Chains A and B, each alone.
Chain A
């Protein structure tokens, strides 16, 4: 009897939640990558409902799409995830006529290697992978954080043993090690990879963990003093540290050897049920004010020139979030690798992690 009642309750829950509204725009996005005000403003503007589903990793999103998941109107992949999507012919070419706000975009972020002419994508936001550090501790130890050596050189690491985390990403860590050795982050020479692996193995004993997620927390609390991380995360860590009235700041350390730029882009999959709403959203997000919301919220880089007017001055002045021309010259975007190279890279990564 009770079982029947419970069953009925559960089924009605199903019915309610699966009933769909008419005008819905399905966005598959990173978590916390769209400000609440922007969502409300867009829903007002398009007279539709914005439904967001989130992912935490490009790879998970790619796996789902490769297996055939559909129903998303727009996805926000990073550049190196955009490549396989284009090559597998998953994306709809963009109708430029519907995107007048394209003129607001900074040309430095258009026409990238993975989507020449921006046939399929439009930039959304970017972050730079660099070092975040506890300024009080580093001052005490006399370490200037301006080079990858801080996480790779055993001489420096000895002073901060157990207080360093690095990203749990083969691409990012190998990219950093390659730049440290003076090569491009996209270098595919096996000998250079072996050198990078060597650098990592020598430094590994001094690291606390491979951590791509909770390092902000650890930095803010003071458990970790140097973290290999993303510029917007480091910005967040500092905001939180100030809010918690800690006796230190979390600062950005841009390595002089160069770093990786991760550009996230808006794309429309071929299977999108409402490509018209997607284009509307794209154009909407390229408007200066709308584009500025995210940067003000989380310190992410902004490829939109018009947005500069609306962004908080302290963020605009931050050279780690908005690099000048010289800084831009040292940044690289990661490219996707072919399957043979991916295999080799994963093998190296497994060996690094298993030792």
Chain B
């Protein structure tokens, strides 16, 4: 008995040990350096002020956190980023679900090929793809002209598709789509068709079969995909930089500004901590909701 439980905890250490150790060394410890920076003062010319000030005392304080409360603007931008990330996640889900279903249902011959087809575009460079979107959404493109022609029919003013919130969302969805497709596919692939057949035999129609059998079973995949889209989308800055127009700023841009232009590492660190905490909170909330649903349906 003892040996078995010893073997079990050995197994546990062998399996969870290496990734934990790796992340501890190459992630936790480096981040602690910057987390500590949130309590320090910014250096005059950039970076961080020395840990001990002129009197030899430890120069730590909550000043940087207090600055968050000073100004509503950071909260506003943060909420906007949350909104954009949420919209991106939902649109990704709506687009990825049919695609993942199709791939999962395909015969083995085509499945790998279709999957590869999804991810292939993302081995080209990110910037190039964003620039391609600039061409697609630019004022001279076929799409823009078509949209404005339709708007013209209704007597509305021509709009610029580029340099707008629309362009940012389109590109965000584009950039994150595979990270929704892959987890969904991995989940949908193992659904037993026998379950659906049984439901059909019991009199369920197509929609009912989907909503009461397929979707609940796919929830872990949905949540995995949502996490892998929502969380990175929250902190991204490159897309809004290039396509965002004049009001495109998101929280990721603000953090970049603080760390680079203002060279205020402590405040940049504070904003990052808040962003990370919010993202983790969102993930935790989603997981909790998922558990509640499972418990209700069980």
Contact = CB atoms under 8 A, between A and B. Distances in A.
Contact of B43 (A59, A339, A343, A349): A339
Given A63-B263, A66-B47, A223-B140, A350 B42 contact: no
Interface string A292-330: 000000000000000000000000000000000000000
Given A214-B131, A223-B139, A353-B249, A339 B44 contact: yes
A350 B45 CA distance: 20
Given A83-B45, A350-B73, A354-B247, 8 more contacts: A66-B263, A88-B43, A214-B134, A339-B44, A339-B264, A342-B262, A345-B262, A350-B257
A273 B244 CA distance: 42
Contacts of A87: 44-45
B261 interface: yes
B236 to A, nearest CB: 16
Given A67-B47, A168-B241, A223-B140, A350 B249 contact: yes
B287 to A, nearest CB: 32
Contact of B77 (A83, A213, A354): A354
Nearest to A203: B246
Interface residues of A, number: 38
A33 interface: no
B254 interface: yes
| 4 closest A-B pairs by CB | A84-B45, A66-B47, A59-B260, A353-B249
Given A162-B160, A350-B249, A353-B249, A62 B257 contact: no
A345 B138 CA distance: 32
Interface in A36-68: 57, 59-60, 62-63, 66-67
Interface of A: 57, 59-60, 62-63, 66-67, 83-84, 87-88, 162, 168, 170, 204-205, 207-210, 213-214, 221, 223, 336, 338-339, 342-343, 345-347, 349-351, 353-355
Contact of B44 (A60, A63, A338, A351): A338
Interface residues of B, number: 37
Interface in B56-83: 71, 73-74, 76-77
A349 B257 contact: yes
Contacts of A63: 46, 259-260, 263
Interface string B12-45: 0000000000000000000000000000001111
9 contacts: A62-B263, A63-B263, A66-B263, A84-B45, A88-B46, A162-B160, A346-B257, A349-B261, A353-B246
A230 B159 CA distance: 29
B263 A353 contact: no
Contact of A353 (B71, B247, B262): B247
A355 B247 contact: yes
Contact of A346 (B76, B246, B261): B261
Interface in B225-278: 241-242, 244-249, 253-254, 257-264, 267
Contacts of B248: 353
A162 B242 CA distance: 16
B41 to A, nearest CB: 9
B134 A347 contact: no
Given A221-B140, A347-B71, A66 B257 contact: no
B260 A60 contact: yes
Contacts of B185: none
Contacts of A207: 246
Given A214-B134, A350-B249, A353-B247, A343 B262 contact: yes
B49 to A, nearest CB: 9
Contacts of A223: 138-140
Nearest to A168: B241
Contacts of A88: 43, 45-47
Nearest to B163: A209
Contacts of A336: 45
A57 B260 contact: yes
A351 B77 CA distance: 10
A221 B248 CA distance: 23
B55 to A, nearest CB: 20
B163 to A, nearest CB: 4
Contact of A350 (B46, B77, B163): B77
B289 to A, nearest CB: 31
Contacts of B242: 213-214
Interface string B123-139: 00000000100100011
Nearest to A66: B47
A208 B245 contact: yes
B130 to A, nearest CB: 10
A66 B265 CA distance: 10
A209 B245 contact: yes
A338 to B, nearest CB: 6
Given A67-B47, A214-B131, A350-B254, A170 B261 contact: yes
A208 B160 contact: yes
Nearest to A212: B241
Most chain A CB inside 10 Å of its own CB: which residue of B131, B244, B258, B262? B262
A38 B36 CA distance: 46
Contacts of A66: 43, 46-47, 263
